């Protein structure tokens, strides 16, 4: 079978993880198994949605980031900043203030990640007018693009092949600085990410061969730094930057739910949260949903405001961003500042490479073999209890049956079948203990009063 791997930003801390199954049960692509007492993520199935990280009770799932000090390797240090970063701060703090603080931390330039949305929007509308398979699906959310590649291969051609705003903004800004006469090796572009999937796409862009940024900084890390400065600075502060270039009402709201669909034509739907997206795409695939022109699909509830690396509550973030956008809309005090020449440049570089389906769901490349394997899965399912308890280390009985057929697990991994095998003397009770320890780790069955909810709970 073709082995292609996605780059993944989500990692499991083997010291912290204690194999609690929360992540395994919530994973929308059944990509997690428990082995030797810790969660392991199946690299081909993971779409970097971050649901596992959100649900982990001990913060054992984390997002790898570049060392902040790396920015000082460059003379010109650019932060590409998604609007939801600003949305986390109360409206008393102006956009200019936040950017001042970021500059104080070491950045020489701060550019909103949504700076290029007008050009992007135009390109998307051109695709709408062209003879393209409908419904069009936005390529904004990298997790959704990966989800479609993995789970809905029949819909890859519906994805609009334009780069997400962060990519095109990074490309544009680098070009701008080069045109100003700055040396290429002096420019470092850093993306402040709200989620795992954006990092993954920055490190390994779908349909592209090279990355557009020099590093990634997690949004929660930077939020803490900025918040700390705002909380501890004295009264003497006066804002230096009055107007913030590239911030527009449309850009501020682009990454929120309805941010794109409000600016597309025809019948548009915006759906957020990955499980909602999956159930909707099931319908699209069956042709149950017809006459829809555009789908804005986002993996997180409340779109990027619900990103796993945001600190502030997502509903507050949405409300604050909308208030900022409304204020700008009233004062009209914004300008986009992109020259016609650069607009052309942005348009020319927007095209994304081909998005290929990845048939990782299949049991075998050869249909005849796959049929045989499926027959075995169905036979095994006759014996498994069907209660999806997860005690075997797989999220449900069907996954275990699949794993057995794919030679990644054994029938005796099922605790119910273990009892039956012991009853018929096919399995020694000591052996089943060893099997359980193999899944859940050694000493896992021992008394432990420090676990959550126990007598001496300590986290």
Partner 1 sequence: MEFNYEVEGGNFAKAGNAASSVKKVLKQLNVDPKVIKRVVVALYEGEVNVVAHAYKGNIMVDIDTARIFIRIQDEGPGIPDIDLAMTVGYSTASAMVREMGFGAGMGLPNMKRNADSLKLSSKVGEGTIVELTTNLSK
User: Which stretches of the chain bind partner 1, using CB under 8 A?
Assistant: 153-154, 282-283, 285-288, 357, 359, 361-368, 370-371, 374-375, 378
Nearer to partner 1, 316 or 406 (CB): 406
Question: Which of these, 137, 111, 121, lies nearest to 250 by C-alpha position?
Answer: 121
Quote the least distance from Cβ 199 to partner 1, whole Å. 28
**DSSP letter assigned to residue 275:** H
Beta carbons of 227 and 221 less than 8 angstroms apart: no
Sheet with 294-298, strands from edge to edge, namely 136-137, 294-298, 268-272
Nearer to partner 1, 187 or 284 (CB): 284
**Coil, strand or helix: which one is 362?**
coil
Quote the least distance from Cβ 295 to partner 1, whole Å. 17
Greatest extent of the chain over all pairs of C-alpha atoms, in Å: 81
Dihedrals φ, ψ of 40, to 5°?
-125, 135
Q: Say how far apart CA 124 and CA 356 lie, in whole Å.
A: 20
Q: Say how far apart CA 434 and CA 429 lie, in whole Å.
A: 9
Quote the least distance from Cβ 283 to partner 1, whole Å. 7
Nearer to partner 1, 282 or 344 (CB): 282
Quote the least distance from Cβ 3 to partner 1, whole Å. 15
Quote the least distance from Cβ 127 to partner 1, whole Å. 21
Nearer to partner 1, 120 or 355 (CB): 355
Beta carbons of 311 and 88 less than 8 angstroms apart: yes
Nearer to partner 1, 314 or 402 (CB): 402
Q: What is the residue whose two structure tokens read 């309805």?
A: 258
Quote the least distance from Cβ 373 to partner 1, whole Å. 8
Q: Say how far apart CA 21 and CA 24 lie, in whole Å.
A: 5
Non-local CB neighbours of 195 within 8 Å, separated by 6+ positions: 48, 50, 143, 299, 300, 304, 307, 308, 309
Nearer to partner 1, 287 or 348 (CB): 287
**Coil, strand or helix: which one is 40?**
strand
Quote the least distance from Cβ 282 to partner 1, whole Å. 6
Structure-block tokens of residue 331 = 């004062």
Question: Which of these, 12, 33, 25, 20, lies nearest to 404 by C-alpha position?
Answer: 33
**DSSP letter assigned to residue 26:** H
Q: Say how far apart CA 298 and CA 320 lie, in whole Å.
A: 20
Quote the least distance from Cβ 267 to partner 1, whole Å. 13
Nearer to partner 1, 153 or 441 (CB): 153
**Coil, strand or helix: which one is 192?**
strand
Nearer to partner 1, 104 or 154 (CB): 154
Quote the least distance from Cβ 114 to partner 1, whole Å. 33
Nearer to partner 1, 96 or 357 (CB): 357
């Amino acid at each position: 079978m073709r082995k292609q791997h996605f780059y993944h930003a989500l990692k499991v801390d083997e010291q912290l993880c204690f194999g609690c199954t929360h992540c395994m049960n919530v994973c929308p692509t059944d990509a997690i198994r428990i082995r030797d007492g810790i969660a392991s993520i199946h690299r081909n199935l993971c779409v970097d949605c971050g649901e596992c990280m959100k649900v982990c009770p001990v913060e054992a799932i984390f997002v790898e980031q570049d060392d902040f000090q790396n920015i000082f390797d460059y003379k010109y240090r650019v932060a590409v900043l998604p609007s939801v970063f600003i949305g986390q701060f109360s409206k008393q703090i102006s956009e200019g203030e936040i950017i001042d603080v970021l500059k104080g931390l070491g950045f020489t330039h701060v550019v909103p990640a949504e700076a290029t949305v007008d050009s992007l929007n135009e390109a998307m509308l051109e695709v709408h007018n062209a003879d393209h398979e409908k419904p069009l699906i936005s390529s904004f959310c990298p997790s959704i693009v990966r989800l479609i590649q993995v789970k809905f291969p029949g819909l890859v051609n519906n994805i609009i092949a334009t780069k997400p705003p962060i990519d095109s903004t990074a490309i544009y800004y680098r070009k701008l600085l080069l045109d100003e006469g700055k040396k290429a090796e002096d420019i470092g572009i850093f993306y402040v990410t709200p989620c795992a999937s954006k990092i993954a796409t920055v490190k390994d862009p779908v349909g592209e061969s090279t990355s557009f940024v020099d590093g990634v900084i997690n949004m929660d890390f930077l939020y803490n730094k900025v918040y700390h400065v705002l909380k501890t600075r004295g009264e003497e502060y006066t804002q230096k930057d009055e107007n913030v270039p590239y911030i527009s009402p449309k850009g501020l709201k682009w990454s929120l739910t309805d941010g794109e669909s409000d600016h597309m034509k025809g019948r548009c739907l915006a759906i957020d949260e990955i499980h909602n997206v999956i159930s909707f795409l099931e319908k699209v695939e069956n042709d149950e949903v017809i006459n829809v022109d555009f789908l804005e699909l986002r993996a997180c509830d409340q779109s990027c405001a619900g990103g796993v690396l945001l600190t502030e509550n997502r509903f507050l973030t949405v409300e604050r961003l909308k208030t900022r956008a409304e204020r700008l809309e009233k004062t009209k005090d914004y300008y986009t500042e992109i020259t016609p020449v650069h607009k052309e440049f942005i348009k020319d570089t927007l095209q994304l490479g081909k998005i290929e389906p990845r048939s990782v769901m299949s049991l075998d490349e050869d249909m005849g073999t796959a049929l045989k394997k499926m027959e075995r899965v169905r036979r095994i399912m006759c014996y498994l209890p069907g209660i999806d308890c997860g005690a075997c280390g797989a999220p449900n009985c069907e996954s275990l049956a699949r794993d057995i057929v794919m030679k990644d697990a054994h029938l005796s991994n099922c605790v119910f079948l273990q009892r039956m095998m012991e009853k018929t003397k096919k399995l020694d009770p000591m052996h089943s203990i060893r099997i359980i320890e193999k899944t859940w780790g050694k000493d896992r069955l021992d008394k432990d009063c420090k676990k959550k909810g126990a007598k001496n709970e300590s986290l």
